[in-house]
Chains A and B, each alone.
Chain A
Amino acid sequence: MIPVCPTTALPPGEATRVEADEPIAVFNVDGEFYAIDDTCTHQDASLADGWLDGCAVECPLHASCFDLRTGKVSGPPAKTPVRTHRVVVQDGMVYVQPGTTADGVA
């Protein structure tokens, strides 16, 4: 597991990027944490810099939308989904588990 930050450092509506083999974006949606691949599948842009709207993030470059819960594309021009990653909150710290999807599939 990769430590991300204390929960207090990532308030609701905010996002942060975590360096991993493939960078990961971690979001706080009203107290729920979600992690997806940070790089948009359309063109090179960081989704952690995107606009958070409910459980969707809009890519800052071309406004492709991804569902944070599933990684699926919810708005073009992206064609392929991003991967989700499992988030663990322990003792006030946020961790991500790269390679394990949000619903626990390795």
Chain B
Amino acid sequence: MSSTIAVVGASLAGLSAARALRDQSYDGRIVVIGDEVHAPYDRPPLSKDFLAGTASLEDIALGAPDDEDLGLEWRLQTTAVGLDHLSRSVQLDDGSEVRADGVVLATGARARRLPGSEGLGGVHVLRSLDDAIALREDLAAAGRLVVVGAGFIGAEVAATARKLGLEVTVVETQPIPLAGPLGADMGAVCAGLHGDHGTRLLTGTGVARLVGTGRVEAVELTDGTRLPADVVVVGIGATPNIEWLAHSGVALGNGVLTDARGATNIPGVVAVGDCAAAWSAAAERHVRIEHWTNALEQPATAVATLLGAGGPAPTPVPYFWSDQYGARIQFAGSRREGDVARVVEGSCADRSFLVVYERDERPVAVLGMNQPRLFTRWRRQLRAAVPTAS
């Protein structure tokens, strides 16, 4: 009897896992389960070109012409509701189940919502294609947008809305946006793009409540300020989709806990992408990475683990990018508090620079704004410098 591998999750991590299975010569049955109605699509454009209306659904499809040859069995618009670790069967919301010899958990994460915003029209999060379509329609008829959260999603939505001609205010509880990933100095530089392009940025203030009946009319801040709003976008982070595994025996923390090669505590079950918190030897803890590149690259290792192939644990150099107001921001590496940021090219004032973060005089991370060529060189250098675990 031929074997079956169930891939639970049909976005970038799930599709990459399915492709990696075939790449690694797995010739059994592959069932890909996805809760959305759509075939796999690329999420980064949802806050940028797709939201602006300059990229179509076809443009952001992840499927390639060659994917027909993968012979995947799709179960879209179907939600996994449980996993029996003894029989390794995935229970689905239509009452059926998929019995599998191996399971790849790739259920991703969902956008966090503002408490009390349920059922109020004009309030959006942005994670899925349907979210983006709904937001795009709402923005087309709106004049004033308030974005809650000045992280990358919030900043990109603000930039796109400015391009569409809206009046935009961004509200951030932290005193300096992006200080977590970039450090205070560089967070402030990147957040400066808002002011450059006529977006109002209010920091160090939280949202007290959303005002409106049926449809949002304003955002009231903790300092009493009332910001009139036709549309509100909430970009305050994401939560891993792991609740369905609560009774599965799979060890959970801030995500599905795995070793550095993607293995969970249950034999034959691996986890990848935004739902997975993989052990990091460098950080000495489980780290859940929500970046696109991680969802693309991590499945190859996890699939090798699932198929019983050995090999050293990878030591990835995390990488992410953000496009805002025509500026391209790229970051690679792992920054900690106390690392020293040094401008090695260009200038922050010109919004074109390359910054290297150093720890004990060694480069550990790099940030570029509008410096793609130089950034690529540094990113390569970081990758080459990372010691591989033996």
A43-B45, A61-B321, A77-B62 known; A49 vs B296 contact (CB < 8 Å): no
Closest to A15 in B: B373
In the complex the two chains form, is B372's CB within 8 Å of A62's CB? Answer: no
B375 interfacial contact with A, CB 8 Å: yes
Q: Pick the contact of A51 from B19, B63, B380 — CB < 8 Å?
A: B380
A43-B45, A76-B296, A77-B296 known; A60 vs B376 contact (CB < 8 Å): yes
In the complex the two chains form, is B62's CB within 8 Å of A60's CB? Answer: no
A46 interfacial contact with B, CB 8 Å: yes
Per DSSP, chain A at the interface is loop
**A48 to B44 CA separation, bound complex (whole angstroms):** 23
Closest to A61 in B: B321
In the complex the two chains form, is B376's CB within 8 Å of A62's CB? Answer: no
A77-B62, A79-B65 known; A49 vs B293 contact (CB < 8 Å): no
List the B side residues contacting A50 at CB < 8 Å: 373, 376
- Per-position binary interface string of chain B over residues 1-44, scored 1 when its CB falls under 8 Å from any chain A CB and 0 otherwise: 00000000000000000010000000000000000000000101
B64 interfacial contact with A, CB 8 Å: yes
In the complex the two chains form, is A79's CB within 8 Å of B376's CB? Answer: no
Q: How large is the interface on A (under 10, 10 to 19, 20 to 34, 35 or more residues)?
A: 10 to 19
Tell me the chain A residues, 31-67 only, with Cβ under 8 Å from chain B: 43-46, 48-51, 58, 60-63
Closest to A44 in B: B49
In the complex the two chains form, is A62's CB within 8 Å of B293's CB? Answer: yes
In the complex the two chains form, is B377's CB within 8 Å of A51's CB? Answer: yes
Tally of contact residues, B, Cβ under 8 A: 21
List the B side residues contacting A48 at CB < 8 Å: 373
- Per-position binary interface string of chain A over residues 76-92, scored 1 when its CB falls under 8 Å from any chain B CB and 0 otherwise: 11010000000000000
Tell me the chain A residues, 5-52 only, with Cβ under 8 Å from chain B: 43-46, 48-51
List the B side residues contacting A61 at CB < 8 Å: 321, 328, 330, 372
In the complex the two chains form, is B64's CB within 8 Å of A79's CB? Answer: yes
**A49 to B42 CA separation, bound complex (whole angstroms):** 23
**A50 to B376 CA separation, bound complex (whole angstroms):** 7
Q: Pick the contact of B376 from A51, A76, A77 — CB < 8 Å?
A: A51
A43-B45, A76-B296, A77-B42 known; A49 vs B65 contact (CB < 8 Å): no
List the A side residues contacting B292 at CB < 8 Å: 62
List the A side residues contacting B63 at CB < 8 Å: 79
In the complex the two chains form, is A63's CB within 8 Å of B45's CB? Answer: no
Closest to B64 in A: A79
In the complex the two chains form, is A60's CB within 8 Å of B372's CB? Answer: yes
B174 smallest CB distance to A (angstroms): 28
Q: Pick the contact of B372 from A43, A46, A76 — CB < 8 Å?
A: A46
B372 smallest CB distance to A (angstroms): 4
In the complex the two chains form, is A63's CB within 8 Å of B372's CB? Answer: no
In the complex the two chains form, is B62's CB within 8 Å of A49's CB? Answer: no
A76-B296, A77-B42 known; A49 vs B376 contact (CB < 8 Å): yes
Tell me the chain B residues, 359-382 only, with Cβ under 8 Å from chain A: 372-373, 375-377, 380
Closest to B42 in A: A77
Among B62, B64, B377: residue with most chain A CB under 10 A: B64
In the complex the two chains form, is B376's CB within 8 Å of A45's CB? Answer: no
**A90 to B68 CA separation, bound complex (whole angstroms):** 45
List the B side residues contacting A46 at CB < 8 Å: 372
Closest to A52 in B: B376
**A58 to B293 CA separation, bound complex (whole angstroms):** 14
Closest CB pairs A-B (n = 5): A60-B372, A49-B373, A79-B64, A49-B372, A60-B376
The chain A residues found within 8 Å of chain B, CB to CB, are 43-46, 48-51, 58, 60-63, 76-77, 79
- 7 A–B contact pairs at CB < 8 A? A43-B44, A60-B372, A61-B321, A61-B328, A62-B296, A77-B62, A79-B63
